[in-house]
Amino acid sequence: MAQADDVLKLLKVQFPIIQAPMVGVSTPQLAAAVSEAGGLGSIGIGASTVQQARDMIAATRALTGKPFNVNVFCHRPAVADSEREARWLAHLRPFFAEFGAQPPSGLTEIYKSFVADKPMLDLLLQERPAVVSFHFGLPDVEWIRALQSAGVVTMATATTAAEAAQVEAAGVDIVVAQGAEAGGHRGVFEPERGDMAMGTFALVRVLSRSTRLPIVATGGVMDGEGIAAAMRLGAAAVQLGTAFILSPESCANAAFRAALKSERSHATGITSAISGRPARGLINRMHTEVGGQGAPALPDYPTAYDAGKALTTAAVAKGNTDFAVQWAGQGAPLAREMPAGELVRTLVAEWREA
């Protein structure tokens, strides 16, 4: 497809395969391996300080001279609400007590949104990575233009045609169509207004009729057949995340890897209880109990994540992973354990055969 060729030229990559920027799993080693194999590797700096982001970019560049993507979070900055936060901590107290621990005395906004982080923009303008992608929304249009003027290609996630229209109106170069099958955080701009939860293929088809932007399909794509199907429906490229979790270059821990290779991989669900925003992962007690019926209103994202991480830490300290963050998509049972470069080559071979 001419559109696919255009995206390859725009991203300066050999194959229309993007590794998703999974914060907590992606590493410079993973991104570099994918880029070296001809795809577009990604690192996520949404939860990083400026110095941590600088270090990650430098570490990736030390491993590859090929283009890679740097992903930022563009959520609405959290608004402190002491009463809501206190109720949530009281709700969590019995779970902490199982492990002889106390919930935190208070919660904090554990990282900034890119929309309010001018020093991070300045860093990106200095470093000029080949690609910068936005999740949860969009930064100021002037920031997008500044990045593009610095030679940076921009991408943004959309979960609906309305969000894709905003992405196009903002002048972003590429839209990432995130279906409800995708692992990790939903890219919904305004989660308080609900989530249409469109599947990847339906979303790609709708966007193919409503936007002029090149479309990257993400959510449930795990092999060459999936790549071919997404591209037949109008995608110019695909983004895979869960497919790379078992790669040795990812920093997924042993418990996560074991769970992904077990029957648990067949059961994923979306919950906001872990972070304060809807995200898909392997179903555990965070889904079924912490976020179950009768749970109080959540603190804002990422303030709620401060509590979720604390509970996970308390449980893991006692050898329990029932509350662990294990983001994964509905294609999880198809995950393969192989080096990232080999996986890219395998995907390309399967895609061409399909």
Q: Per residue in 251-288, pLDDT tens?
A: 999 999 999 999 999 999 999 999 999 999 999 999 99
Task: Note whether 251 and 56 are within 8 A (CB).
Answer: no
Task: Note whether 307 and 103 are within 8 A (CB).
Answer: yes
What angle is formed at CA 201 by the lines to CA 228 and CA 5, rounded to 5 degrees?
45
| 293: DSSP letter | T
Bridge partners for 269 per DSSP: 281
| Residue range 46-63: mean pLDDT, rounded | 98
Phi, psi of 154 (to 5 degrees): -115, 145
Q: What is the pLDDT of residue 4?
A: 82
Q: What is the pLDDT of residue 1?
A: 44
The percentage of the chain sitting over the pLDDT mark of 90, rounded to a whole number, equals: 97
| Residue range 285-306: mean pLDDT, rounded | 96
CA–CA distance, 212 with 228 (Å, rounded to integer): 21
| Residue range 147-160: mean pLDDT, rounded | 98
Residue 222 clears pLDDT 70, i.e. is over it: yes
Domains of the chain: residue spans and CATH: 1-77+112-248+335-354 (3.20.20.70), 81-110+262-334 (no CATH)
Q: What is the pLDDT of residue 3?
A: 78
> How many beta carbons lie within 10 A of that of residue 233, not counting itself?
18
Torsion of CA 335, 232, 185, 242, to 10 degrees: 10
Task: Note whether 304 and 276 are within 8 A (CB).
Answer: yes
Residue 51 clears pLDDT 90, i.e. is over it: yes
Task: Note whether 181 and 200 are within 8 A (CB).
Answer: yes
The percentage of the chain sitting over the pLDDT mark of 70, rounded to a whole number, equals: 99
Pair of tokens at residue 52:
């941590």
User: Measuring CA to CA, which residue among 247, 211, 252 is closest to residue 336?
Assistant: 247
| Residue range 146-162: mean pLDDT, rounded | 98
Residue 2 clears pLDDT 60, i.e. is over it: no
Tokens 């966007």, residue located:
207
| Residue range 221-234: mean pLDDT, rounded | 98
Beta strands 68-73; 41-44: pairing state: parallel
Residue 24 clears pLDDT 50, i.e. is over it: yes
Pair of tokens at residue 100:
């002889």
Bridge partners for 155 per DSSP: 133, 174
Mean pLDDT for the chain overall: 97
Q: What is the pLDDT of residue 328?
A: 98
